[in-house]
Amino acid sequence: MADHSTGQDLTMSTQNPSVFGIMGNVGKDAALAAVESTMQYLIRREIPFLVEEEVLRRIDTDLSRRGELWRDGSRDDVAREADVVMTFGGDGTLLAVVQHTLRYDTPVLGVNLGKLGFLADVGVEEVLWAIEEIMQGNHSIEHRLTLSGTMTDYPEEFFALNDIVLAKSGSAKVISIDAFVDGAFLASFHADGIIISTPTGSTAYSLATGGPVVVPSSDAIVISPISAHTLTARPVIVSGDSRISVCARAEEGGVMVMSDGNVLVQGKEAIDAEISRSHQSVALIKQLGPNYFETLRRKLVWAQDGRNRSETPTPDRA
């Protein structure tokens, strides 16, 4: 697997995919409907594909050419064998899927169901067009920085595209946090928790706690306290090569750890975690949806002065 872990790599597609992969949010009828129509289109176009078995079980339609042109499999099967994976749902669905595609460096296209996401930025009405663009190589692949983490009493290394969070759980009022960067003491504070975020994740939980917006191409990691009980505890941006150590303690209740919103452990009295850049990256298909700053304006509702112009200014007319 290629190592694109330094910041964000932008590469143009050099070959057309031969097999598409389809995964989706089985809890959303709109996702299942979009998957079904996409499968029918791929069959008509005679484009081979794999579909997530759990998604297929929720689709009550007998589609032709099963076993000949397409088949189903687990998420890991689809991630391993497809050349491109399409996710139907939203940013949360894509975050779950990349836990499988990460190890294979399989490019992912995020399809939203009407609500624009920072990751799932292609609308469901654009899927068929996007397939044709991908088939013709009219897209780029961004390799996004990811985090890896280890912690006490947890047997496996874990990964995150957005963020790793240590936070209070149960009846805990606050937890005590000591943070270190490359072995150097950063700060101690009482808070609801701490977020270690990638540039991609800077517009997620970190942003809600007052963290900065960091463009995805930045080679950086963001450390953001959650509701710290001091006005002087502020978000800090450190080098993407930094190794961050966090010691979290709860006098009552417990501490939990989340990776991209997935709870790994909870109710622990104390947790020591080591977090750094992963040698693996997530490959995202881009240049098919809005550009990053357009998505940023729309998601954050950044105002524009529309008194004298009705469209977004270009650099030479700003």
As annotated, the active-site residues are 91
Q: What are phi and psi of 122, to 5 degrees?
A: -105, 130
Q: Do the bridges between strand 262-268 and strand 236-239 make them parallel or antiparallel, or are there none, so unpaired?
A: unpaired
AA letter at 79? A
CA 309 to chain centroid:
35
H-only helix segments in the chain? 29-44, 53-57, 75-81, 91-101, 127-135, 205-208, 292-300
Measured CA distances, 126 to 93, 120, 122, 164 (Å): 18, 12, 6, 32
Q: Which residues pair with 270 in a beta bridge?
A: 249
Structure-token pair, residue 52: 């997530």
Structure-token pair, residue 223: 């450390």
Burial class (CB in 10 A: 0-12, 13-18, 19+), 219: middle
